[in-house]
Amino acid sequence: MEASEKTAFLSILTNVVLVVIKSALAILSGSLAIKADAIHSLTDVVSSVIVLIGIKISKRPSRNFPYGLYKIENLVALGTAFLIVVAGHEIVEEVFAGRIRILPSHIPLAAGGTSIAILITWLFSRYALKKGHETGSPSLVADARHVWTDMLSSVVILISLLGSAFGFALDRYAALIVVAFIGKAAIHIFLDAVRVLLDASLDYESMNRIREIVTTDSRVVNINEMRARNAGRYKFVELDLILRVKELKKGHLVAEEIKQRIKCDLENVDHVVIHYEPQKKDYITLSVPLSEDRRTVSEHFGEAP
């Protein structure tokens, strides 16, 4: 099992634990904010399952998809954003239409349980984000950011519970703040997924690094065109170069060396296509009339042989 699959599976287990903890606390305390957070964590379980399925499916080869099914991971991330929005809508609807207890009950127990949930969420979100960047998986990064919002929203809930202990009815406001975190996560995940699905260029840092690798080779005269895009966690690079070579075979070797350097330097580069051509040389041809000995310049153009 790959690191990305292990992380996705661990995400499911972690979120199931969080759902159980938060649901129990919501029932005991009657807090709408904790209930909203439990629903939020439930969407994490669903999205984590989708992430795992996406990672599995994206690896399957297919004749009809010669460039792979890597973008399934981005479609999964897009689906995750949709789930977050749906959860946020449900919470807002209940805040304004539902019956809300003025002050939650069993506040010490609810605060203690929320603190445990915060710790679990923080530890896992850091781990998942690290693994997502290491493997270059957009769905894992999206999932980690989603889980990170759980921690922030749980912190808000903890503050509202402490306020409730002193008689301040903050539950409704805490629930709305949780929705704000949900909305922010949805927008971020949505934009990242759409960029890749629309074949937007790689990030500025990666493009600059590719340019540096190419231009530092003394045999490269110029870069006519450079294009690169993402598909899931993988990168695809296309280059059009002018090389300082005369033989086609030598040009092929130079292109292969550049290709290998790009693959070694950047993570998850699936394919590098390099089109190259030799440097153009300008020749000036001068014609002059010669005398009969074909060595000296003729003084009369009409008499030249």
pLDDT tens per residue across span 26-66: 888 888 788 878 877 777 777 667 666 666 666 666 777 77
234-243: strand order across its sheet: 220-231, 234-243, 269-278
Burial of 212 (0-12, 13-18, 19+ CB in 10 A): exposed
Domain boundaries, the chain: 3-197, 204-278
Does residue 262 or residue 155 have the better pLDDT?
A: 262
Residue 144 has pLDDT above 60, yes or no: yes
The second-level CATH assignment, the architecture, of 3-197 is: Up-down Bundle (1.20)
The pLDDT, as a whole number, for residue 100 is: 54
Q: What is the mean pLDDT of residues 19-28?
A: 89
Residue 102 has pLDDT above 70, yes or no: no
Does residue 304 or residue 251 have the better pLDDT?
A: 251
Does residue 30 or residue 21 have the better pLDDT?
A: 21
Which range in 116-130, 159-173, 249-263 is most confidently predicted, on average pLDDT? 249-263
Q: What is the mean pLDDT of residues 233-250?
A: 88
**Which pair of structure tokens corresponds to residue 214?**
């190419």
Write b or e for each residue in 10-42: b if 16 or more Cβ atoms lie within 10 A of its Cβ, otherwise e: ebbebbebbbebbbebbeebbbbbbbbbbbbbb
Mean pLDDT of the chain: 81
The pLDDT, as a whole number, for residue 239 is: 95
Confidence of residue 275 (pLDDT cuts 50, 70, 90): very high
Q: Which amino acid is at 299?
A: E
How far is Cα 262 from Cα 206, in angstroms, rounded to an integer?
Answer: 10
The pLDDT, as a whole number, for residue 245 is: 86
The pLDDT, as a whole number, for residue 283 is: 65
The second-level CATH assignment, the architecture, of 204-278 is: 2-Layer Sandwich (3.30)
Backbone angles phi, psi at 135, to 5 degrees: -90, -10
Which region among 112-116, 173-177, 198-202 has the lowest average model confidence (pLDDT)?
Answer: 173-177
The pLDDT, as a whole number, for residue 240 is: 95
Does residue 193 or residue 65 have the better pLDDT?
A: 193
The pLDDT, as a whole number, for residue 60 is: 61
The pLDDT, as a whole number, for residue 54 is: 63
Report the residue count for the chain: 305
Confidence of residue 282 (pLDDT cuts 50, 70, 90): low
Residue 98 has pLDDT above 70, yes or no: no
